[in-house]
């Protein structure tokens, strides 16, 4: 029994902000942003657009793509660092919006690695017999955590949501292996300086970019090798890598460290920027919809985020 991807979906806010528009508000330029990050635009949530509304739309589209009704969903796992409310979970808001009377629904918080954590939890629960159908969602409104006077961080992030429908099925398709890590000693390299318990405020994102870059390249390469080894595969077996879309330079450096052709790496950071837990499912949906990822392909998903947390999953699509 494996967890098979039955459908994918994604959702973006209405407002697209390119680098030129951002340069009118922040001391930066299109050239500066592109050279350092590869980012050319991002989407910013407006009034009435929240993590839960974006997640709901992505989930609806994933269910439609799978040809599965919302009433068949047994489990919703939503990865986010920017929930609509401290509680209840945004997953329960998605549940209600989809018209599901009863299912297991909860949020997972591992920042940019959140979607990999959510996939791993959902896969484990499906294989344990909790249900047959799961919605796994990554959704963020990271723009609401940004310090718009800090040009080194505010240019990097955007908002959005991506979703998968997982179905427990027999066969050779599905999730083959997952591997997760965390190391809380690096809290001060990437964090938000607020929270209901510590300050009573939401806070703003703070990051030491060079140190994060160094850890990201090493950790992402190592965890990909670990998950492939766990699945009995090598990098030569991989058709596509769908990484967390943090920075084009991190994507390039990781591919080189693994001796992977750049053409096998799905890149959407130029269009969406870093959408934290939403970035992997957004990129996956993009590559599925444009025909790059096909049934039977070996696909590796990987991410690293604040904490530090990092992880990877390998699947046969």
Catalytic (active site) residue 154: no
Catalytic (active site) residue 244: yes
Rounded Cα gap, residues 63 and 66, in angstroms: 5
Angle (deg, nearest 10), helices 114-127 and 279-289 = 80
Pick the catalytic residue from 19, 65, 112, 154. Answer: 112
Q: Which of 3, 1, 5 has its CA nearest to residue 288?
A: 5
For 197, phi and psi rounded to 5 degrees?
Answer: -85, -40
- Burial class (CB within 10 angstroms; exposed 0-12, middle 13-18, buried 19+) of 102: exposed
Q: Which of 47, 44, 111 has its CA nearest to residue 272?
A: 44
Pick the catalytic residue from 19, 244, 247, 272. Answer: 244
Please spell the DSSP secondary structure of the chain, one letter per residue. -EEEEEEEEEE--SEEEEHHHHHTTSS--HHHHHHHH---EEEE--TT--HHHHHHHHHHHHHHHHT--GGG--EEEEE-SS-SSSSS-HHHHHHHHTT-SS-EEEEE--GGGHHHHHHHHHHHHHHTTS-SEEEEEEEEEGGGG--TT-HHHHTTB-EEEEEEEEEEE-SS-EEEEEEEEE-GGGGGGEEES-BTTTTSB---EEE-HHHHHHHHHHHHHHHHHHHHHHHT--GGG-SEEEE--S-HHHHHHHHHHTT--GGGB---HHHH-B-GGGHHHHHHHHHHHTTSS-TT-EEEEEEEETTTEEEEEEEE-
Give catalytic residues, as residue numbers: 112, 244, 274
């Amino acid at each position: 029994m494996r967890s098979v991807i039955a459908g994918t979906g994604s959702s973006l806010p209405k407002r697209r902000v390119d680098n030129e528009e951002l340069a009118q508000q922040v001391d930066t330029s299109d050239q500066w942003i592109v050279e350092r990050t590869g980012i050319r635009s991002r989407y910013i949530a407006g009034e009435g657009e929240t993590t839960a509304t974006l997640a709901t739309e992505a989930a609806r589209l994933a269910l439609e793509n799978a040809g599965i009704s919302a009433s068949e969903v047994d489990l919703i796992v939503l990865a986010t660092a920017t929930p609509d409310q401290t509680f209840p979970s945004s997953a329960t808001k998605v549940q209600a919006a989809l018209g599901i009377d009863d299912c297991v629904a909860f949020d997972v918080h591992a920042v940019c690695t959140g979607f990999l954590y959510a996939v791993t939890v959902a896969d484990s629960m499906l294989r344990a017999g909790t249900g047959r159908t799961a919605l796994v969602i990554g959704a963020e409104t990271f723009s609401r955590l940004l310090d718009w006077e800090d040009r080194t961080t505010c240019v990097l992030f955007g908002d959005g949501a991506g979703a998968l429908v997982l179905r427990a099925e027999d066969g050779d398709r599905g999730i083959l292996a997952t591997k997760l890590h965390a190391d809380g000693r690096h809290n001060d390299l990437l964090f938000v300086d607020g929270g209901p318990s510590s300050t009573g405020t939401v806070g703003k994102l703070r990051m030491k970019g060079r140190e994060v870059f160094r850890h990201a390249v090493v950790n992402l390469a190592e965890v990909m090798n670990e998950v492939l080894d766990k699945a009995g595969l090598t990098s030569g077996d991989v058709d596509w890598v769908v990484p967390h879309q943090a920075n084009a330079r991190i994507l390039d450096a990781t591919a080189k460290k693994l001796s992977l052709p750049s053409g096998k790496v799905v890149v959407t950071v130029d269009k969406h920027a870093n959408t934290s837990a939403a970035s992997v499912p957004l990129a996956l949906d993009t590559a599925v919809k444009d025909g790059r990822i096909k049934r039977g392909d070996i696909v590796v998903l990987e991410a690293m985020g604040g904490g530090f947390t990092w992880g990877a999953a390998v699947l046969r699509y």
